[in-house]
A and B are shown apart, each in its own frame.
Chain A
Amino acid sequence: MSQLEIKDLHISIGDKPIVRGLNLTIQQGKVHAIMGPNGTGKSTLAKAIAGHPDYTITEGDVRLDGKSVLAMQPDERARSGLFLAFQYPSEIPGVSIANSLRAAVQARLAEGEELDATAYYKKLYAKMDLLKIDRKFTSRAVNDGFSGGEKKRCEILQMAMLEPKIALMDETDSGLDIDALRIVADGVNAQRSGPSAPGIMLITHYQRLLDYIVPDYVHVLWDGRIVKSGDKSLALELEAKGYDWLKQELAPATA
């Protein structure tokens, strides 16, 4: 059973500290929702763990199955089992989803080993059926001219194909109407069972997503730290009382 351990993590953008001493362990097969107001470092956390060059980790460690990933390039982190589902996925004009995924699968093979194209397409189509995605979808260029919902489905499909140990899902609900949200959530839920189900860090601003993807744990990120953890009822409480409630509750402790 794989796990991601985040230990006393400090992240800066330039000279500005964003995440300041964060601890969290994510087990494979579990969904950890990370909630918090805007600007508290949720997206920073996900991107820094994935290795985005704009973020500097100044202290602490991130270990996947006991091994630190901090010295690895973003692609090495991905190949060792991390996956980042982007809030704003990039467009890759002219490259079909099928071809980009094929390149990603090929990149995971040993040097000199050739991808079995038949097996690859068989798996791709099985995953698409699981996620109820039309076959024509993968011949389109990655995210090029996609609606918000299509972009997120494309992320979910890539996640399903690459079978990560740990998936970092950054604001997967942003820009989605309720129908698109339901489809995307179904896609995530479809991957939650079975022995290869990833551990998921589900970053969201709103409780709404958690009605569809019910988390095992909820953590509240505030000012670069996790200030409160609980089960799904914490999210409901936050929804009812707002983040201000938490602010007041925390005020005496941090003063």
Chain B
Amino acid sequence: MKPLSDTDPATPIADEAAANPVAGIDQTKGDFQYKVDYAFDAGTGLTEDTVRYISTVKKEEPWILEFRLKALKTFLRKPMPTHWATKDLENIDFAKIRYYLSQGQKPKRTWDEVPDDIKKTFERLGIPEQERKFLAGVEAQFDSEAAYSNIKDIVAKQGVIFCNSTEGLREHPEIFRKFFGKVIPTGDNKFSALNSAVFSGGSFIYVPKGVKVAQPLQAYFRINAENFGQFERTLIIADEGAEVVYMEGCTAPKFSTSTLHSAVVELVALKGAKIQYITVQNWANNVFNLVTKRGVAHEDAEIKWIDCNIGSRLTMKYPGVVLKGERARGEVLSIALANDGQHQDTGAKMIHAANNTTSNIIAKSISVGQGRSTYRGVVHIPKHLKGCKNNTECDALLINTNSRTDTYPAISVRGDRNATQHEASVSKVSEDMIFYMQSRGLTEAQAMSLAVNGFINDLARQFPMEYSVELKRLIDLEMEGSVG
């Protein structure tokens, strides 16, 4: 429980949190927290000592510590991106964040070995019955470390490696090191540098040549301590002709002070491989969710990001695909819902770097009340390429007149042998539409919920069954809260 560094030991918040991590927490509206004994805790604030502490606790190789320390310097040097992004970023107080917290547990192998309080947490997360039976195959992250994992035994029979990033680094350095930090270099942006300095948790997956993983690999993430930033690092490599689907769903309890979540996810799809990465993000409304996600698709490979952002105070996330090999395909399907006090700043990046590559972006955003959603997209097709195609669609739905939506598509297509098309629309849920549904017996909230679900329906249909069910439930909850 003792902070290793003395960055800011006198801060009352830090003291209070150290004494009782559950203090002052509003446990209403499905936000909840169970008391957890943190065996390892790096305290608040970020210095070289914090980074050394994390590396020591994780018993890391010297090269990783070097990597982290270099990243810390980059992080400290880089300015905040507030010249184009929201000024809200300036409200992050890096000195008050906890950068590492672990229960000091080894990842569990069977459900029986999972502590009861963690099981309770999963129950409270409302994982549907249908998914619970999948739980035997769930890699679940509880705070910094995976608290549970046993699917690896099942997929290991196919030669698939599925573990947390710490274990990946320790036991599979020969694969990890080759790809780690290559898709998203440390200096890509300030928050990728931060993650590179203090990362812990996240998944490491390697699928060998030609192996098609039959069931989706799942991970649940959850923040469970006040002022605690979660910095997962995920690396997924699908070797030639391999196929894998990865799902992450996030929920977090409500905290009295802001929390930072800053993940880095790197995907590598080698020749002819397919990776699908699905996220349902429902962080509490005080979480800054600043995530860098990118994949490289080699020849004939395909990378598809399905990205739903419902929660958080501010999300900035633009999943990208670098289309490196001929005929590679990239796709981003994105849904964002911004309620009062929320800003969903999301989008996609498609970097075409070979002939005959294709990319598709479909982004739908919903703004409720004072909620704000922003679409930012980059599509780049250089002049020397031919046969490249891009399709971009962004649709926004406004629920109230004071909602806000912005679209910043940057599409640069050079040369005359490539094609792109772009469509954008903004629509509103009108009073008449709500009255129409109410006159059928639906409450105002149910009516809004139905309208919103209709708006995203064509996208949601592409999701796995249990995720579209969960998404629908989340939207229902959001709409309930939005009606006065």
Contacts and interface: CB of A to CB of B under 8 A. Distances in A.
A95 B450 contact: yes
Contacts of A52: 435
A89 interface: yes
Nearest to B461: A94
A94 B441 contact: no
Contact of B433 (A79, A92, A101): A92
In this complex, the member of B437, B439, B457 whose beta carbon has the largest number of chain A beta carbons within 10 angstroms is B439
A108 B437 contact: no
Nearest to B457: A94
B444 A75 contact: yes
Nearest to B431: A53
Interface in B131-158: none
Interface residues of B, number: 25
Given A52-B435, A90-B433, A90-B436, A107 B454 contact: no
Contacts of B427: 93
Which of B433, B441, B444, B451 gathers the greatest number of chain A CB atoms within 10 Å?
A: B441
A50 B439 contact: yes
A162 B438 CA distance: 13
A141 interface: yes
B443 interface: yes
Contacts of B420: none
A92 B435 contact: no
A95 B433 contact: no
Nearest to A144: B454
Interface string B418-443: 00000000010011110111111111
Given A53-B435, A90-B433, A94-B455, A75 B441 contact: yes
B455 A51 contact: no
Contact of B441 (A78, A86, A95): A78
Contacts of A104: 440-442
A213 to B, nearest CB: 21
A132 to B, nearest CB: 22
A103 B441 CA distance: 9
Nearest to A47: B435
Q: How big is the A interface, by class?
A: 20 to 34
A96 to B, nearest CB: 8
A84 interface: yes
Interface secondary structure of B, over-half rule: helix
B446 interface: yes
A103 B442 contact: yes
Contacts of A78: 438-441
Given A75-B444, A94-B455, A84 B450 contact: no
A97 to B, nearest CB: 11
A107 B455 CA distance: 21
Contacts of A92: 433, 436-437, 450-451, 454
Contacts of A53: 431, 435
Contact of B440 (A73, A91, A141, A158): A158
Interface string A70-82: 0001110111000
A222 interface: no
Contacts, number: 81
Nearest to B449: A103
Contacts of B446: 75, 103, 107
Contacts of B436: 86, 89-90, 92
B456 interface: yes
Nearest to B460: A94
B453 interface: yes
A95 B438 contact: no
B454 A95 contact: yes
Contact of A100 (B435, B437, B443, B455): B437
B458 interface: yes
Contacts of A86: 436, 439
Contacts of B438: 51, 73-75, 78
Contact of B442 (A84, A89, A107, A141): A107
Interface in A163-218: none
A75 B454 contact: no
B386 to A, nearest CB: 37
Interface in B442-472: 442-444, 446-447, 450-451, 453-458
Contact of B439 (A74, A99, A101, A141): A74
A90 B435 CA distance: 9
A75 B433 contact: no
A90 B454 CA distance: 14
Given A90-B430, A90-B432, A90-B433, A95 B439 contact: no
B246 to A, nearest CB: 27
B433 A100 contact: no
A51 B442 CA distance: 13
Most buried by A among B442, B446, B458: B442
B439 A83 contact: yes
A208 to B, nearest CB: 26
Contacts of B431: 53
A104 B450 CA distance: 11
B440 A94 contact: no
Q: Which 5 A-B pairs have the closest CB atoms?
A: A94-B454, A95-B454, A94-B457, A90-B436, A74-B438
24 contacts: A51-B435, A51-B439, A53-B431, A75-B438, A75-B441, A75-B442, A75-B443, A78-B438, A78-B441, A86-B439, A89-B436, A90-B430, A90-B435, A92-B436, A93-B427, A93-B454, A103-B442, A103-B446, A104-B441, A107-B446, A108-B441, A141-B454, A162-B440, A162-B441
Given A94-B453, A95-B450, 8 more contacts: A83-B439, A95-B451, A95-B453, A95-B454, A103-B442, A104-B440, A107-B446, A158-B440
